[in-house]
Structure 1
């Protein structure tokens, strides 16, 4: 197990819920967007997270106040006892923790996702497997036995070709690919969206983890349960850890598999995306093919499997060219828009799941209200652009909230569902209450759509 570095300890205190088996995440945790800005601020000052634990930390906290409130940082960094309890629990289960500041953090994630790579990774098993590359295999949870057997065969052939299988550990296609590879003596990287602690304690996984055949990793607290936004966010990690990806099955225009593949084809372009070419036809796979996915050549042995990988041109740099504006003016790229409104990406990903759309589609719908000419203004107009993007984004938030809160939910539950901090969720909820869209119940304290709005 890697030693928990001072940098990792500081990042855990700032961003991790430290659930330790029970309890709710802190409402003050830094969101991914907040931590990104905070880390950039530290870098500009030539400081690092570990410096927050040094004797001169009060001076550093004051210097960080323009980015994150000083008292909030103090409260988060004061959770040392809770962190020690969590570390003891993780160590008892052989769960290691690395941060983006550590040398043994997966190189592929750093190089391909850069500052969008998860600040913290939890895992169990041989960490070196995360840089082995291989074939990412993804697909639907609910499939027939024919597709399960097909996917297990892909895993077996990958094992014989000594290529690692990378997948998400979900029921259906993910688990079939992993099982096929492991049964054939191959190696597997499982990128989990939830329940890492429970999964590593599974008896059938323990020997595989100890023998270096399997590594399980997650960017979320080991005790965290399933969350739609988390499942969406981890898709890019699966692709980033692989050399190529195979989509075995996918719904059309909806679901996590579709959204992840479209994001890869339209935006991230980290690896070649293949789609299954045999068996029952699929509207989803055909649509992905039209978007640029390649027909999987169906190699039947290790040699032909190796040939597929030998033909792949390595991706040296992430290229993004998704168009967010449909006007006749030059398009504004996703990175340019996110640079102006950096917190939008996690929310857009959560909204994509809620609306059964891709991130690119949601971004297009959200931002099309902002004129391209306005979005291309120079730095002295950034505030004006951010305001326009904020209004456009909140109109989408309003729509999703009305769908989400047909059933009453608490602030923390809304924040978790939309992959934002509880503080941000509370601000949005209060705004919608003020607008008369939502109402707040007292016992239990929860928010729901006003009855008069249910049929709007």
Structure 2
């Protein structure tokens, strides 16, 4: 694909999650980000990788898949779309489009750190993909910004260039375009996160020079030929924030619009420090500051650098450390708590979090597509070296039985209570509880539904 062939895992993920243009006539839709996250955890529990599903032996495991909406027939159909994928790849390659998945070493570490299972399964892009890990200042604002706002945007972007900082923006007209133009014209780099029309943007004459010179990278989690829709425009906001080190809102409407919603999400999630132009033209600027944003009253050419301004800001944020190169632990999507023993913020570059102290059953599932940079991505190695594809599921189930015995000796428990007490996802708890009942090692009671030890027996009797 473009300058690099797809890895075996990425090919499988593209078949499962990608869109190729004819989905309206097909019986099954591609997997959503959430559905793929569920499948990735299921694969990991069995010591499998996405590429395994391309083999006959790997597909035999699908008979054990009991997740809602992930019926084997649907996955078999999606994995059989090779012809449609080949035709789409041919179209995209002419525009220089490349594709990476969460298992590839080039996948941005910031996205995996901040979004965990919410990180997109696939990223489509054009340009130098190594820019995606360099961070920068996200500059965000209205498509219909005033001339004054656009001029300030270009000045701030040019100041970023003078200080060796990159710019991250959304690639739309208005503030986005002014930010990217100001950065690239001043000799810096820019990251454009697009909600639509990546293929068109990649061949646009205005972008070609920056792409060819390695100063611009365009990226999107969406189908490269998709047209504009509001849902995608709102959905890409989190990728703009999480690819950056800091964010600056030039102007925002009050209570509506993508700029407002994206800024609120960043304030809630605390991905990166949020600055808001003060005073600004937007009716929502002051409200964003009241909600936790920081005043951006920086004067370009006033004798102070942007770096100095950010360092003296009252936010308490220090310059963000580079995301660590590690096999990231990805929490279940309903669990917003930190991994046990992990710091609240990113450690210094090269730091690692250790998971040896986590009990086998209570440990959150690791996405099988989240790998260290040194992990192979070719089809030659379908499981990580530490995995034995036959043993971990059995070992974990036996550990589950042991812990379930201890829990049920005290009281009967519902499925939700078992999942919570043992640190499991509900789907996994349901699967193992059914297995325990079928093997007569536990008893399912009704009215209400709950589980207990079998009478006059034990789980191992």
TM-score computed with the length of structure 2 as normaliser = 0.67
Say if 1:7 and 1:271 are closer, same or farther in 2 by CA, change over 3 A: same
Which of 231, 234, 237 is residue 232 of structure 1 equivalent to? 234
Do the aligned partners of residues 379 and 185 (structure 1) sit closer, same or farther apart at CA in structure 2, a change above 3 Å counting?
farther
Are the aligned partners of 2:251 and 2:280 in contact in 1 as well (CA < 8 Å)?
A: no
Counterpart residue number, 1:28: 29
Match of 1:289 in 2: 289
Q: Does structure 2 retain, via aligned residues, the 8 Å contact 1:2–1:98?
A: no
For the pair 1:177 / 2:212, whether they are aligned, the reply is no
Cα-Cα RMSD? 2.6
Q: Which residue of 2 aligns with 1:52?
A: 53
1:149 shift after superposition:
1.0
Residue 2 in 1 paired to residue 37 in 2? no
Aligned to 1:74: 76
Q: Which residue of 2 aligns with 1:260?
A: 262
2:311–2:319 contact (8 Å) kept in structure 1: no
Matched-pair contact (CA < 8 Å) for 1:17–1:25: no
Match for 1:313 among 303, 318, 325? 318
Which residue of 2 is the match for residue 380 of structure 1? 415
Aligned to 1:408: none
1:128 aligns to 2:130 (yes or no): yes
Q: 1:166–1:379: structure 2 CA closer, same or farther, 3 Å change rule?
A: farther
The CA deviation at 1:279 is 4.9
* Post-superposition CA distance 1:47-78 (Å, at most 9, x none): 11110012313312212244511111111111
Displacement of 1:23: 6.8
**SS of alignment partner, residue 283 of structure 1:** coil
The match for 2:157 among 155, 158, 161 is 155
Q: 1:25 to 1:287 in 2, by over 3 A?
A: farther
| Aligned-pair CA distance for 1:221 | 0.9
Deviation at 1:381?
A: 4.0
* Distance apart, 1:303 and its partner CA: 5.6
Q: Is the 8 A contact 1:61 1:70 kept in 2?
A: yes
1:345-393: CA deviations, max 9, x gaps?
Answer: xxxxxxxxxxxxxxxxxxxxxxxxxxxxxxxxx863479x9xxxxxxxx
SS at match of 2:100: strand
Deviations along 1:186-241, whole A, 9 cap, x unmatched? 11000000000000110121121011010000000110111211111110110001
SS at match of 1:136: strand
Residues 304 and 29 (structure 1), Cα distance of their counterparts in 2 relative to 1, 3 Å cut: same
Give the unaligned 5+ runs of structure 2: 324-332, 338-412, 421-461
* Aligned 1:345-384 pairs, distance under 5 A: 380-381=415-416
Name the SS of the counterpart of 1:59 in structure 2: helix
* Contact kept? 1:18, 1:25, Cα under 8 Å: no
1:36–1:63 distance in 2 versus 1, CA, 3 Å: same
**Comparing both chains, which one has the higher relative contact order based on Cα–Cα distances under 8 Å and sequence gaps of 6 or more?**
2
Structure label with greater radius of gyration = 2
Matches within 5 A, 1:73-152: 73-152=75-154
List alignment gaps of at least 5 residues for structure 1.
319-333, 339-377, 386-456
Change (3 A) 1:33 1:317: farther
CA contact (8 A) 1:270 1:315 kept: no
Q: 1:25 to 1:186 in 2, by over 3 A?
A: farther
Shift in Å, 1:316: 7.1
* SS of equivalent to 1:3: coil
Asked if 2 retains the 8 angstrom alpha-carbon contact of 1:17 and 1:24, the reply is no
- TM-score w.r.t. the length of structure 1 is 0.67
Shift of 1:151: 1.0
Q: Is the 8 A contact 1:99 1:121 kept in 2?
A: yes
CA distance in 2, matches of 1:82, 1:251: 42
1:115-165, Cα deviation, whole Å (9 max, x unpaired) = 111100000001011111110000111122111111111111111111100
Asked whether the equivalents of residues 112 and 240 of structure 1 are also in contact (C-alpha less than 8 Å), the reply is yes
**In the aligned structure 1, how far is the partner of 2:245 from the partner of 2:322?**
13
Distance 1:216 1:113 in 2: 20
Aligned residues: 327
Find the aligned partners of 1:25 and 1:178 in 2 and give their Cα distance: 38
Query: For 2:172, what is the secondary structure of its paired residue?
Result: coil
CA distance in 1, matches of 2:4, 2:261: 34
SS of the residue 1:181 aligns to: helix
Alpha-carbon offset, residue 336 of structure 1? 4.5
- Residue 218 (structure 1) aligns with: 220
Distance 1:96 1:335, change over 3 A: same
* Match in the other structure for 1:365: none
